[in-house]
Amino acid sequence: MSYGIKILNSDSEVQVDGNYRNISEVEEDTSATVDSYPELISVTNTPLVPIIAIRPSSDYFVTLFSYVYSDPNYTDFNMITEVDETSDPSSPPPVYSTSIDWKLYSETPSKSTDTHGLRIYNADSDLVFDAGKKYFNIVQVDQITLGNPTLPSGVPFTKPYEDITHSAISNPYYILSPIGFWWYSARDFTKYVYFIFRIGLKQISATSVRVGWFCYWRGFTGGAAQTGYNPTCNLITCDVH
Amino acid sequence: MSDFGLRVKSAVGAILLTITDRITRLRYLTQINADTSGNTTLTDLTGHSTVEFSVMLETGGDPLQKCQHSVTRTGTQIAWVYQEGYSGAVKVYASAKSAIFVFMYT
């Protein structure tokens, strides 16, 4: 037997056993500003791979762009948001201002400071559950497939989106992956202008979120093209306890 | 409210773990270099629901036109494929280094 205790939920799904460690919250922030490309948000340096979940605002799309890794530590993460795609392409596009709440989870091999409750170790004496920690908890997983951004004649870009409802939980945190990439360039009088897009999130209500393409950069280029990577995305809706 | 199983509460009565939670376990985690595709077999995935995904890793340089790996599961195999794209001979987007995650939640 490889475990000393196994805890199942009401659907017979394993919550805690000795085979795998659970992931718990180690850092968070609220109302973090995102108003530049890219917005670099620092975390406490850690060699343990972080899992970062975000809660977007309702004004502009945002997406978690990348983790910054400087061997052997994860040091920051990058967020991006919408830009003014109608501005003069001869200078960097103005970035709209929004904010996010975020939580960082990772394996946490050290025990909490609590002196009461439940603490479970595996056969190697590694901590697998500690009642003093806030655990990463998937509430819902949705798969979303969007059309490509397009530019119908004479109107702004059409940027496909889909609204997702999670009635079981209010104001959750989300992980979205992959975030795709779409390039659209076209002739504008004597020059070619390009626009690039990613897939991001915007809050609709406490129990719903919009998943959609948004423009995060544009400039001049040498020719016309419409191409990119438009995958089916996983939207992971999370809660912590 | 369930009348069986385990419920863990904090000292002030907040529920930390209850019988309907899907507390999530990290099964597999690795870093994959840019321009590299591959796979691994995790035999213990049988009978479990998972969610697998990637996050782009920035190790220097602007990821403006870079993409993370796609990640898929077929049975017990987890596969990752790098992403790059061209317009004619011009590379429009390039592969990035990625962190690959596989979470089990049943």
B26: in domain: yes
Q: Does A196 or A127 have the greater pLDDT score?
A: A196
A123 has a pLDDT exceeding 70: yes
List the single range of A39-48, A63-72, A100-109, A162-171 with lowest mean pLDDT: A100-109
Residue carrying structure tokens 């009401």:
A10
Say yes or no for a CB contact (<8 Å) between B92 and A227.
yes
Say yes or no for a CB contact (<8 Å) between B55 and A22.
no
A65: in domain: yes
Domain tally, chain A: 2
Domain tally, chain B: 1
Residue carrying structure tokens 């000393």:
A4
Say yes or no for a CB contact (<8 Å) between B57 and A223.
no
How far, in Å, are B65, B86, B100 from residue A229 at the CA level? 11, 11, 18
ipTM of the complex: 0.87
How sure is the predictor about A1, in pLDDT bands with cuts at 50, 70 and 90?
A: very low
Say yes or no for a CB contact (<8 Å) between B23 and A136.
yes
In this predicted model, what pLDDT tens digit does every residue of B12-68 receive, in sequence order? 777 766 666 666 778 899 999 999 999 999 998 888 889 999 999 988 778 899 999
Mapped to the 3 state alphabet, what secondary structure does A78-142 carry? EEEECECCCCCCCCCCCECCEEEEEEEEEECCCCCCCCCCCEEECCCCCEEEECCCCEEEEEEEE
Q: How far is A20 from chain B (nearest CA, A)?
A: 6
**Residue from A51, A115, A215, A237 to probe the interface with B (highest B Cβ count within 10 Å):** A51
Q: Are residues A33 and A107 in the same domain?
A: yes
Output the domain CATH number for residue A213.
Answer: 2.60.40
In this predicted model, what pLDDT tens digit does every residue of A55-100 receive, in sequence order? 999 999 999 999 999 999 999 999 999 999 988 889 999 999 999 9
Exposure string (b/e) for B19-48, b if CB count within 10 Å is 16 or more? bebbbbbbbbeeebebeeeeeeebeebeeb
Which pLDDT score is estimated for A47? 92
Q: Are residues A66 and A148 in the same domain?
A: no
On whether any CB of chain B is under 8 Å from the CB of A135, the answer is yes
A28, A102 contact by CB (below 8 A): yes
Residues A202 and A60: their CA atoms lie apart, in Å, by 6
The answer to whether the bond into A92 is cis (omega within 30° of 0) is: no
On whether any CB of chain B is under 8 Å from the CB of A96, the answer is no
B4: in domain: no
Q: How far is B74 from chain A (nearest CA, A)?
A: 16
**Start-to-end CA span in chain B (Å):** 21
Q: Are residues A107 and A155 in the same domain?
A: no
Residue carrying structure tokens 């990035």:
B96
Q: Are residues A163 and A199 in the same domain?
A: yes
Residues 106-125 of A with CB under 8 A from B: 107, 114, 116-118
Which pLDDT score is estimated for B25? 79
Question: Could you tell me how far CA A156 lies from the centroid of its own chain?
Answer: 26
Q: Does A139 or A57 have the greater pLDDT score?
A: A57
B39: in domain: yes
Say yes or no for a CB contact (<8 Å) between B11 and A66.
no
Closest CA in chain A for residue B2:
A10
Which pLDDT score is estimated for A101? 97
Mean pLDDT, to the nearest integer, of A162-170?
95
Q: Tell me, what amino acid is at A46? A: T
Domain containing A17 equals 7-136
Q: How far is B79 from chain A (nearest CA, A)?
A: 14
Say yes or no for a CB contact (<8 Å) between A11 and B106.
yes
Contacts of B42 (CB under 8 A, 6+ apart): B27, B28, B76, B77, B78, B102
**A-to-B residue pairs, Cβ atoms closer than 8 angstroms:** 160
B2 has a pLDDT exceeding 50: no
Among A136, A170, A189, residue at a domain's last position: A136
A128, A121 contact by CB (below 8 A): yes
Q: Are residues A109 and A90 in the same domain?
A: yes
Mean pLDDT, to the nearest integer, of A138-144?
92
Mean pLDDT, to the nearest integer, of A51-57?
97
Residues B77 and B93: their CA atoms lie apart, in Å, by 27
Q: Tell me, what amino acid is at B95? A: S
Residue carrying structure tokens 């016309």:
A224
Domain containing B32 equals 22-104
Collect all residues of chain B within an 8 Å Cβ-Cβ radius of residue A234: 51, 53
Q: Does A174 or B20 have the greater pLDDT score?
A: A174
Q: What percent of chain A has pLDDT over 70?
A: 90
A234 has a pLDDT exceeding 70: yes
A31: in domain: yes
Cβ-nearest to A241 among B17, B55, B58? B17
Cβ-nearest to A67 among B24, B99, B106? B99
Contacts of A159 (CB under 8 A, 6+ apart): A149, A197, A212, A213, A214, A215
Q: Does A119 or A221 have the greater pLDDT score?
A: A221
Residues 52-91 of B with CB under 8 A from A: 53-59, 63-65, 67-68, 70, 83, 85-88, 90
> Average per-residue pLDDT in chain A?
89
